[in-house]
Amino acid sequence: MPGFELFGKEERQQVEKVLDTGVLMRYGFDGMRDGHWKAKELEEALSQRMQVNHAHVVSSGTAALTIALASAGVGAGDEVIMPTFTFVASFESILALGAVPILVDVDDTLTLNPNAVENAITPKTKVVMPVHMCGSMADLDALQQICKKHGLLLLEDACQAIGGSYKGKPLGSIGNLGCFSFDYVKTVTCGEGGALITDNGEYYENAQKYSDHGHDHIGNDRGAESHPFLGYNFRISELNAAVGCAQIQRLDEFLGIQEKNYNMLREALSSVERVTFRRVPDGGVENYSFLNFFLPTEEMARRTHKALLDAGVDSCFYWYDNNWHYYRKWEHLTNQKTLGKLSQEVLHGLQDFNKVDFSVSDHWVGRNISCLIKLGWTENEVSERADTMVRILKSL
């Protein structure tokens, strides 16, 4: 997955252009910048590649999620449905706005289960936020139907699945809003960065103002701009955006490498009885950033994961025990450990985590192993890795 593996000449050239002028900020300084607008350039490349009207690039994927929610008017006490298996950024972005994260089970797609989503809807629900974890997507048709039926927004977190598609459309472009991360370990990196995409002109206008203190971005005198509503600072710097300009041009090259490596590993593992693969919804194409498979029991999955590590097969994850990606270890959320007080809306709105039953999620995530697909592997390395994995899986 990580674009940093293939970091080089193109990235350096883009950054040099910014350094030549010294204009490190994405707004203003028109006279000094010698025509370089890297954040804007990246936005144009993204909106083209993702086939949407608007893209807005910001400081991180977490910021993009926060801004996406804010741009659609999500605020205090609104409920946002999110999966039990995701990165902590999901609930961070929701809580940042005083909204309430509602955790819901995942299924064999390792993403939101549409039935569980429908059961979690209340009069306070405003958004359904599927997270396309580890390169593959939620059942977006089913989720879209639920959202239409109940008048909810669909916000796709495609931070780990950039370049994947569903029924011919890029992931992120299908919901009302979609988000990407360009942090250092993502398929396309800016060092730090993120983006939201949408076809909705109003959300876009809100997003670009909100992420820059509410600046209306009219005219070319920043100091004279008005502030139609309260905002914040989630700007990306031109240096980071410049790296992204080079990386986004290489997205399809990266996907091609990932697909080839993924297919070699998958083909090898298919020969192992009792290994099954994650379900990809009909019409979905993964971005091949991870290969995900299930063992028959939790105990076998844990044992396999350990044996893989012991044999030097790195970059395989057992998310069930992971501190950051599964609800079981989110005690800072479930015990409400915060520096300051949470609002009453959030305190009252959070689920009772002593009572909620996520055994369906446990059933799937507890038996799953996720192998990161690297860009820098040689064909020999992939085939050796495949042999080792098959040997270990068969011996257990």
Given candidates 86, 113, 189, 258, which one binds ligand PLP under the rule CB under 6 A? 86
Give the residue numbers marked as catalytic: 186
Of 210 and 225, nearer to ligand PLP (C-beta) is 210
Strand partners, 153: 127
**DSSP per-residue string spanning 228-241:** SS---B-PPPHHHH
DSSP assignment letter at 183: B
**SS3 of residue 156 by DSSP:** strand
Helix (H, G, I), strand (E, B) or coil at 82: strand
**Quick one: how far is CA 306 from the chain centroid?**
27
Residue nearest to ligand PLP (CB): 61
Interface pick for ligand PLP out of 62, 187, 237, 361 (rule CB under 6 A): 62
Which DSSP string do the residues of 248-306 spell out, in sequence order?
Answer: HTTHHHHHHHHHHHHHHHHHHHTTSTT-EEPPPPTTEE---SEEEEE-SSHHHHHHHHH
Question: Is 78 or 157 the residue whose CB approaches ligand PLP more closely?
Answer: 157
Min dist. Cβ of residue 391 to ligand PLP (A): 31
Q: Of 137, 246, 235, nearest to 194 (Cα)? A: 235
User: Binders of ligand PLP among 113-132, rule CB under 6 A?
Assistant: 131
Q: Smallest distance from the beta carbon of 136 to ligand PLP, in angstroms?
A: 12
How are strands ordered across the β-sheet holding 177-181? 54-58, 194-198, 177-181, 153-157, 125-128, 79-83, 100-104
Residue 282's Cβ-count burial label (10 Å; 0-12, 13-18, 19+) is exposed
The one segment of 85-93, 138-146, 214-222, 231-239 that binds ligand PLP by CB under 6 A: 85-93
User: Are 137 and 161 in contact, with CB atoms under 8 Å apart?
Assistant: yes
Q: How many residues bind ligand PLP (CB under 6 A)?
A: 13
Q: Residue from 18, 82, 89, 117 that binds ligand PLP (CB under 6 A)?
A: 89
Which CB atom, from 108 or from 183, has the smaller least distance to ligand PLP? 183
Closest CA to 234 of 29, 55, 44, 60: 60
61 or 366, CB closer to ligand PLP? 61
Tokens of 318: 């057992």
CB of 196 to ligand PLP, least distance (A): 12
Other CB atoms closer than 10 Å to residue 160's CB: what's the count?
26
- Binding segment (CB under 6 A) for ligand PLP, from list 116-124, 154-162, 236-244, 362-370: 154-162
Q: Residue 60 or 287: which CB sits closer to ligand PLP?
A: 60
Which residue in the set 27, 85, 87, 204 belongs to the binding site for ligand PLP (CB under 6 A)? 87
Residue 157 contacts ligand PLP per CB under 6 A: yes
Question: Is residue 4 classed as helix, strand or coil in its secondary structure?
Answer: helix
Contact pattern for ligand PLP over residues 299 through 338, marking x by CB under 6 A: ----------------------------------------
Residue number with CB closer to ligand PLP (27 or 180): 180
Nearest to 327 by CA among 114, 83, 48: 83
Site for ligand PLP in 160-199 (CB under 6 A): 160, 181, 183, 194
Choose one: 152-160, 217-225, 232-240, 282-290; the region binding ligand PLP (CB under 6 A): 152-160
Strands 165-166 and 284-285: antiparallel
Distance CA(36)–CA(22), nearest Å, equals: 10
Judged by beta carbon, residue 176 or residue 189, the one nearer ligand PLP is: 189
Distances (CA, A) of 385 to 104, 291, 304, 315: 35, 13, 14, 11
Among the listed ranges 18-26, 56-64, 99-107, 289-297, the one in contact with ligand PLP (CB under 6 A) is: 56-64
Residue type at 212 in one-letter notation: D
* Choices 83-91, 273-281, 299-307, 310-318; region in contact with ligand PLP by CB under 6 A: 83-91
Find the shortest distance in angstroms from Cβ 348 to ligand PLP.
Answer: 26
Which residues are at the interface with ligand PLP (CB under 6 A)? 60-62, 86-87, 89, 131, 157, 159-160, 181, 183, 194
